[in-house]
Amino acid sequence: HRMDRMGGPQTLWKKMAIARVTSIPVRSAWSHRSARRGITTGVRDRTVRLAAARADETGDCLLHEQVRTVGGGRAVPIKSFLCADTGDVEVIMDVSELSEHDGLELHWAVKGPSGSQWSLAPESVRPELTRDFGDGKALRVGPSEEDGSTKFRFVVPKSASQEEGVTGIVGILVSGDEWLHGEDGLGDLEAPVMAPDPKANAVMDRATEEEGKEDGIGLFRRYQLAGELLPEARRGPALAGALLSWLRLSSNRQLRWYSSGNYQGKDMASLQRAFAEGVCACVSDSEIDLLSRHLFRLAMATLPRGGGNGDDIRMGILNILRTHGIREGHRPGIDDAFLAQWHQKLHSSTTADDIKICEAYLHFLHTGNWDDFWDHLWHNGGLSREDLGDMRVGWRNESGITGPGNHMPQMIPDFQHFLWVLKVTHSGADLDTAFEMAKGKVHGDLEWELGDLLQNRDAWWAPGKIVEIREKLQWQWKEPGCPRDVLLLDLSLESFLRTKIEQTDLWSLSDDDVCSIAELVMRSGCISAEDPGLANALRLWQRAMAEEVRWSESWAKAVDSALDYMSITLGRFMDSLVQATQPAADSIGRAAGVPESYLTNFGEEVVRGHPLFALSRVIDRLRQAIRAVIGGSEWDVISLPAGGEVKGRITVVSLAEVQGKELGNPPRVIFSNELGGLEDIPGGVEAILTGSTVDILSHIAIRARSQGVLLASCSDPGKWEATRDALSEGTAVKVSQDAMAGSLVLQEVPEAELCAPRAGGQAAIPELELRRPTGHEAWVLSPDKCDRSSVGGKSFNLGTLRRVCEDLPGVITPHSVSLPFGSFERALAANGEEAVERLSGALARVAGAEGSPETVREELEAAREVVMRLDIPSDLSSALCSVELGQATGRDVVEGELWHAVKRVWASKWTERAYLSRKALGIPDADLSMAVLLMDLVPADYAFVLHTANPVTGNESEVFGEIVLGLGEALVGNEPGRALTFAYDKTSGSVEILRLPSKPVVYLAPDPPGVIARSDSNGEDLEGFAGAGLYDSVATSGSVARTADYSAEPLVWDHGFQKELCERLARVGLGVEAECGAPQDIEGCLSGGEVYLLQSRNQVLPPQVVKQNV
C-alpha cells in the first residue's frame, strides 16, 4: 500500500488494474532475433493478437510480454496478465514450437521472497501435478495441451505477492537429461507478476546485492547475472547505465574476477558469446531510446567477444604440456611451476587475463629472463605479481601463479598459436584481432579498405580513412542481427581514431587543419552517439567550413557560435552519461568495498574514457584562434548558474588548499591561480575564477555545472592578474557575465547583500515595502479595466503597449484578460474553512521553522499542495468561459488545463526561492499579492528582449537586444548558450552584431498553442529590485523542447536579415520608451512576420559598475 496524497490510500493492485499498461515491450528484440535465425513471426503475431483480444474482452491488464528463444532457435512466447477483478496474475509460456522434445518439463521456482532469485514456490502457486525437484528451491511440472497449443500455465494469487513477496516465475526448460537454456543471452525464462516500479533500478539493486555478499562473486557468475538482467537494462538510461557501471567496475578490476567456483573454458566461451550477442542486439534495437543504446555500446567495449571453441583452451594447454614433456598432475615430466599453476587456472577459470599472461610468457621465452615476464606483464597488461598470486583457482592451487618458468624457447610456435586461441574467445575491441574476426562479415570492399588501413595505419591520411570506413560500417552494426564482431571492429576503429587524434600536436598544425580535425572527430562521434544535439553541432560546423571566405570577422563570429554550441552539447551529452552511471557505481562499488576515492571520480572517468573526449582539446585550441580574429573576451565561462549571477566575498586561495573544508558563511568567490581539474568544490563557494585553462569536461567542470557554481577561466595571464588585483581580498562582489562582450563583470556590492550560501542561512539586506493593492470585485478584467490598484505591472502596461501598436504597422499585442489581486483569496475562501486553515497552518509552521531548512521546504510544499487542490469557483468558471482567449473557451478546458495553470502561478508564491527572496528583502508574506495575466500563447518564430538603455553600463544612448529561436523560455530562463546580441546606437541608427546565437535548445509552442498564465504580482518590478522570474508563468499546453539547428538559420548566416531585424526591433523599443517616458525592459516575439509585444516595464538600471577591461 501507499498513501496517495490526492486520493487517500490505494493498493498497487488497484492502480495496476486501472492503468492497463504493457510494462515491458520487447517487440524489436523478437523481430531482431527472429530475423537473424530465420524464425517465423507467426507465433508471436498470433499470441499478441490473442493477448490484445483477451485484454479487450475481460479487462485484464497485460503486465508482461516477451518472446524467448531456446532449443535451436525455437520461440517461447511468455505473457503475464493481471485479473482486474481478483488481482491474481496468470502466467502463460507457450512451448508449441518444442513439440519434438519428448518429456518436456519446466524446472521452475519463484522470485522475490526475501529478495531471492530462486525460491520454493508456495503451495498456492503450484499447478497440478507439480513435483519437488529435491534441492529445496526448484519444482518440476509438465505442460498442458490447449486447442492445439502446448503451454505452461501458472496462477499467482494476489495474496502470494502481497503476503509472501512473490514477484515472478523463473525457470529452465528440460527434456529428459537435456537442459534447454535460453539462447538469446537473456538468462533464465522469467515472467514478472507485478508491474515494474518506474523509479526502481533492478540492475543496480541486484548487482549491489550480489557484489555485497561476504564471498563476493567472480567474473563467470557476474556475466550470468548481467545476462539475466539484460531485459531490465533495456528499460531506460538509468538501468542501462547501471549495467555499464557494473561492467566497467569489473573490467577495470575493481571487482573480483576469481571466486571459489570453477568452470570449464567452453562454459565461459559460450557465456561470453551469448552475453555479448545480447548486448550487441540492444545496441541496434530501434525500440530502445538513443541514450540507452549508446550506453549498451559503451558496455560492449568492456566485454570479450566470447565464442570460439572454449575446449581449445583447456585441451590446447594440455597438448602443449604433453608435446614438450611437461609434468601435469600425476603424469611424469619436466617440473615447471609456472605452467603447472597456469594450467590449473586455464582449466577452471580462464579469463581475458590469460591473453596478457600468454604474451608475457612468450616475451620470457624470447629473452630467457624470468624478471622480463613480470615487467612485460605489468607494463603491457597492467597485472602485478600480487594479482597473479591471488589467482588461487583450480585443483589444489593454494599459491596462485607465482612461477618461475623454465626457459624452453622451442615452445614459442606452440604458444603463439595458443595466444590466438585465447584471443578468439577473450579478445574484445583490439583492432588487429577484431579485423581478423570480422573477415567475411563486412560488406562490399570494406574488407580490402580495412586491410589497406591497417598496413598504412601511421600514414597522415589514416584518421580520415578511419571515419570514412566507419561511416560505411555503421549501416551494418546498426542493423538488427549484425554479428557482434562487426560492432567490436567498429569500436576498435573508434578507439584507434582517438589515439591518433591525441597523438597529434594541435599547436603545430595550421588553424584550418585543426578545423578539419574537429569535423573528423564530430563525424566519428555522431556515428556512435546518435545524439540530436551533436548531430546539429556537426551540421553547423560543416556549414561554417563550407563558407568560401574564412577568417573574416563575420565568419569568425559564426564559428565562435558553432564552437559554443558544440561545447555545450558535448558537455550536456557527457553529463547525461555521468547521471546514468554514477549512482549505480556508488551503490555497487560501496557494496563491494571499492575505494571511495575511485568511486568519487567514476563518472568523470566514464567521460574521459569516451572517444569524444578528444574533442574538448580541439575546441580549446580553436577558441584561441577565433578570438584572435574577433577580439572576444579572454574569459571562458564554463558554468553559469541559474539566474546568471552570484555574490560572495573574494578569497584568493588555491582551490587545492581548501579541499574537504566547509567555507561557511558568507559565501565565497574563489580566485585560484591554478586548477588541476580534479578538485572538488567546497560548501560555501559560489564562484571560482582561475587563470588556468579549464577543460569543459574536467571533473571540476562537471561538478560546477551539477552544483550550480559559476566557473570561469581567463586565457590571458596579464588580464588575469589585472582582474585578480583590482579588488582586494575580502571585498564583497557580484559576478555576472556581460552578454554583449562575453566577459565577466565584477561589481562591488555592500556586505549586507551577501545572502548565505546554499548550505547556510540568510543574511539581512535592506528591506523593501510593497504597495498594498485594493483588488477588484470582478473575477476577470479586460485590458481596458486594469489599473495599478487591481493588477500588477504586466497587465497594466499592456494598455501602453496597445497605444504604441497603433502607430507601428505590423506590431500587435496578443489577446489577454487578467485575474486581479484578491482573486486567489476569494477562490481559497470559496473552497471552505478547511482549505483556509490548512494553508494558514502550513505558513505558520514555515514562520516557526527558523534554522530548519528541511522543515521550511516541507511546509512550503504543503502550502503549494493546498493551492493545487482548490476547486474552481463556479462564478469564476463562468467568467472565464465568457471571454475569447485562444483555445480556452470551453468549460472543460477552463476547468481543466487553464485552471491548473492558474493554480500553478498562485502556488509559485511559495516556492523556496521566492520565499527566501522575500525573507531576505524583509517582505511579509501577506504583503505579496498575486494577479494572473492570461494571454494567448503566440507560436513564436523568434523571441526577444530589449533594453532601451545598456543594462550593464546604464548608457541611455543605445539599445541592447537579445534574440533567440522560438519562445522566450530559452532566453528568460537562462538556458545555456548565447542569444543573438546586438547594440543599436540611438544617434546614428547603426546596428552592431555582438554575438551570434548558440543556445542548443529551442522551445516551441504546441499545436494548438493554448494560453499562458503569467505571474503578475506587486513585488516584481520595484525600484532597485527586479523581481521578475521569482514567480512562475505556465502555458496550458506546455512548450515543446527541440534541439536547435543553426546550419541554415538566417539569424546566423544572413547578414542582411540580421541587420533588418535588429533595426526593426530597436525602433519598436524606442516607441515604447517614448510612450512610457523612461528606459524600458521589453519582452516580445515574432510570428509570421508580425511583432508581438508581450510586456514592458521600467528598466531597473544598475548602479556604478566596476568592470574589468576584459
Residue 797's nearest CA partner among 805, 788, 808 is 788
Q: How many whole angstroms separate alpha carbon 879 and alpha carbon 817?
A: 11
pLDDT of 310 reads 61
pLDDT of 293 reads 97
Q: Reply yes or no: is the peptide bond before residue 404 cis, omega within 30 of 0.
A: yes
Q: State the CB neighbour count (10 A cutoff) for residue 84.
A: 17
Mean pLDDT split into 10-residue runs, the chain, 1110 residues: 32 31 30 32 37 51 86 90 87 92 93 78 92 91 90 92 88 92 81 78 92 87 92 93 96 85 78 91 94 96 79 81 84 88 83 91 94 93 89 73 92 90 77 88 91 93 96 94 92 93 92 96 95 96 94 93 93 94 96 92 91 92 89 77 84 82 82 77 88 60 73 77 86 82 80 60 48 83 88 88 87 93 94 94 87 85 95 92 71 86 94 80 85 94 92 81 91 76 94 92 91 88 57 88 95 96 95 91 93 87 39
Strands (E), 988-1079: 991-995, 1001-1004, 1011-1017, 1021-1022, 1025-1026, 1033-1035, 1040-1043
Residue position matching grid coordinates 590449473: 344
Query: 302 vs 252, 272, 433, 436, 846, CA distance in Å?
Result: 9, 12, 15, 19, 51
Local structure of 1054: helix, strand or coil? coil
Query: 870 vs 221, 826, 830, 880, 928, CA distance in Å?
Result: 55, 11, 9, 16, 20
pLDDT of 346 reads 84
pLDDT of 377 reads 93
CA 686 to chain centre: 25
Find residue 690's DSSP bridge partners: 672, 713
Q: How many whole angstroms separate alpha carbon 449 and alpha carbon 445?
A: 6
Q: State the CB neighbour count (10 A cutoff) for residue 102.
A: 8
Strands (E), 83-129: 89-94, 104-111
Q: How many whole angstroms separate alpha carbon 92 and alpha carbon 147?
A: 14
Q: How many whole angstroms separate alpha carbon 958 and alpha carbon 956?
A: 6
Q: How many whole angstroms separate alpha carbon 207 and alpha carbon 229?
A: 9
Residue 276 burial (CB < 10 Å; 0-12/13-18/19+)? buried
Residue 1099 burial (CB < 10 Å; 0-12/13-18/19+)? buried
Q: How many whole angstroms separate alpha carbon 1070 and alpha carbon 632?
A: 28
Residue 526 burial (CB < 10 Å; 0-12/13-18/19+)? buried
Q: How many whole angstroms separate alpha carbon 1041 and alpha carbon 342?
A: 58
Instruction: Answer whether 895's CB lies under 8 Å from 872's CB.
Output: yes
Strands (E), 515-615: none
- Per residue, the 3-state secondary structure of 454-513, as one string, reads HHCCCCCCHHHHHHHHHHHHHHHHCCCCCCHHHHHHHHHHHHHHHHHHHCCCHHHCCHHH
Tell me, what amino acid is at 620? Answer: D
- Between strands 668-672 and 645-652, the pairing is parallel
Find residue 3's DSSP bridge partners: 9
Residue position matching grid coordinates 537473456: 186
